[in-house]
């Protein structure tokens, strides 16, 4: 019997963990089929269900088409191809906005504490690194850990911010050497490494007149506010404070804005590239989280449907038990009534029989007595 042609969406959902990383670059049908077969041999339930419904060769051809279109390699392409798979409910969207707002407040508090020297205890470290795991939302009666807000690994965040910090410090030193050479000579700052980014923020705040007024207007926010954020960037990098992906994006964007104000095109281009690459990675993380939550929601709905069916079957079993018990009671009652009726009938028959026997005995006694009387009379006459 021929099996149905495999659906691209179902193939993507079942094989998204098969073709990831380097395997997302596979294009040869034979290697693709071999990869699917390996997961079948490893008892991958999703792959087994897909192949059981369709055919491994057909699934391999469908997977090959998806791989050629980079669907497995890019969640953006996957979302364009299968938008319904990444759907987010209004409730989820509202919850994420709230979680991002909470993360922003937590980030600000953590950075401030780090700058004030309150960072470094094990308790503070534990709160910082476990914060994303404590947020949760409810699905039916089940509490499910939330995947939001988005965080990237601290190691990657730290390396990225250190790169941004060093790049900005070079640009700040170049600007200072050009526009504030007297301050550099007075302080003995003879290289970019001699001045930290937060110090530059203070220097620039006191020398705002050295900057292009038109660029400050185009900034769209007060210059001191931008400098405060740049100082926070330094504190976050130096003290290894974990921040949300949104905060990280904000830091890089504001670093790029400062590079533009410093009129350092090389620095601005580098930071722009870093910002775009970070944006792509973070967006990809977000889409993957959307997909995971969407798949979980669907599976929980299926489980809920199964649970309702099991509840219905349980109720049906109980009702069947009660019905059968009632039927058996009716049968038992009828049997008992029949037994009572039979006993009554037998008793009546016995009673009638005894009455008849008693009457016959009385007749016999009377006849005997009568015969005896007559016999005695004859004897007396003789």
Q: What predicted TM-score, i.e. pTM, was given to this entire model?
A: 0.67
Torsion angles phi and psi, residue 292, rounded to 5: -60, -45
Q: Of 229, 232, 246, 250, nearest to 114 (Cα)? A: 232
282: tokens are 């973070």
Percent above pLDDT 90 for the chain: 53
pLDDT at 177: 93
Alpha helices in 116-222 (DSSP H): 122-134, 154-179, 181-187, 197-205, 213-218
Q: Where are the domains of the chain?
A: 8-86, 87-346
351-354's contacts with Cβ under 8 Å and 24+ in sequence apart are: none
Q: Of 166, 261, 140, nearest to 211 (Cα)? A: 261
pLDDT at 112: 77
DSSP, res 150: -
Mean pLDDT of the chain: 84
Which is more confident, 119 or 21? 21
pLDDT at 165: 97
Q: Of 129, 338, 152, 356, nearest to 247 (Cα)? A: 152
pLDDT at 89: 72
CB neighbour burial string for 361-376, b if at least 16 within 10 angstroms, e if fewer: eeeeeeeeeeeeeeee
128: tokens are 């910082």
- The per-residue pLDDT for range 30-75, each reduced to its tens digit, is 999 999 999 999 988 889 988 988 889 999 999 999 999 999 998 8
Which is more confident, 66 or 379? 66
pLDDT at 211: 94
- The per-residue pLDDT for range 168-179, each reduced to its tens digit, is 999 999 999 999
Q: Of 25, 36, 28, 37, nearest to 72 (Cα)? A: 25
pLDDT at 44: 87
Which is more confident, 148 or 119? 148
Burial of 172 (0-12, 13-18, 19+ CB in 10 A): buried
Residue written as token pair 């503070």: 124
Q: Of 22, 21, 11, 86, nearest to 50 (Cα)? A: 11
pLDDT at 301: 87
d(CA 153, CA 282): 11
Average pLDDT (164-190) is: 95
């Amino acid at each position: 019997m021929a099996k149905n042609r495999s659906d691209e969406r179902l193939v993507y959902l079942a094989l998204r963990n098969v073709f990831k990383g380097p395997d997302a670059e596979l294009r040869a049908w034979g290697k693709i089929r071999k990869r699917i077969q390996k997961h079948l041999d490893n008892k991958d339930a999703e792959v087994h269900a897909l192949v059981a419904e369709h055919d491994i060769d057909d699934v391999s051809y469908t997977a090959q088409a998806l791989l050629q279109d980079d669907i497995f390699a890019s969640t953006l392409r996957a979302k364009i191809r299968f938008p319904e798979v990444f759907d987010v409910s209004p409730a989820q969207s509202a919850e994420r906005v709230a979680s991002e707002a909470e993360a922003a407040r937590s980030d600000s508090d953590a950075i401030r504490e780090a700058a004030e020297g309150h960072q470094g205890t094990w308790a503070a470290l534990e709160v910082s690194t476990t914060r994303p795991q404590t947020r949760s939302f409810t699905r039916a009666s089940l509490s499910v850990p939330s995947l939001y807000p988005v965080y990237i690994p601290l190691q990657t965040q730290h390396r990225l911010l250190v790169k941004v910090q060093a790049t900005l410090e070079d640009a700040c030193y170049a600007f200072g050497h050009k526009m504030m050479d007297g301050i550099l000579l007075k302080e003995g700052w003879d290289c970019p490494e001699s001045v930290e980014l937060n110090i530059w923020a203070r220097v620039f705040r006191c020398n705002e007149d050295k900057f292009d007024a038109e660029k400050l207007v185009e900034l769209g926010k007060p210059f001191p506010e931008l400098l405060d954020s740049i100082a926070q960037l330094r504190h976050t990098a130096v003290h290894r404070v974990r921040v949300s992906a949104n905060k990280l994006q904000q830091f890089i964007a504001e670093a790029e804005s400062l590079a533009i104000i410093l009129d350092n095109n090389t620095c601005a281009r580098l930071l722009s590239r870093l910002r775009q690459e970070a944006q792509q990675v973070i967006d990809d993380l977000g889409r993957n989280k959307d997909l995971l939550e969407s798949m979980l929601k669907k599976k929980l709905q299926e489980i809920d449907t199964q649970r309702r069916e099991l509840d219905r079957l349980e109720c049906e079993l109980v009702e069947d038990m009660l019905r059968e018990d009632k039927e058996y009671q009716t049968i038992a009652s009828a049997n008992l009534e029949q037994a009572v009726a039979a006993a009554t009938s037998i008793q009546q028959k016995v009673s009638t029989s005894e009455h008849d026997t008693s009457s016959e005995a009385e007749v016999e006694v009377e006849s005997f007595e009568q015969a005896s009387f007559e016999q005695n009379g004859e004897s007396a006459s003789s």
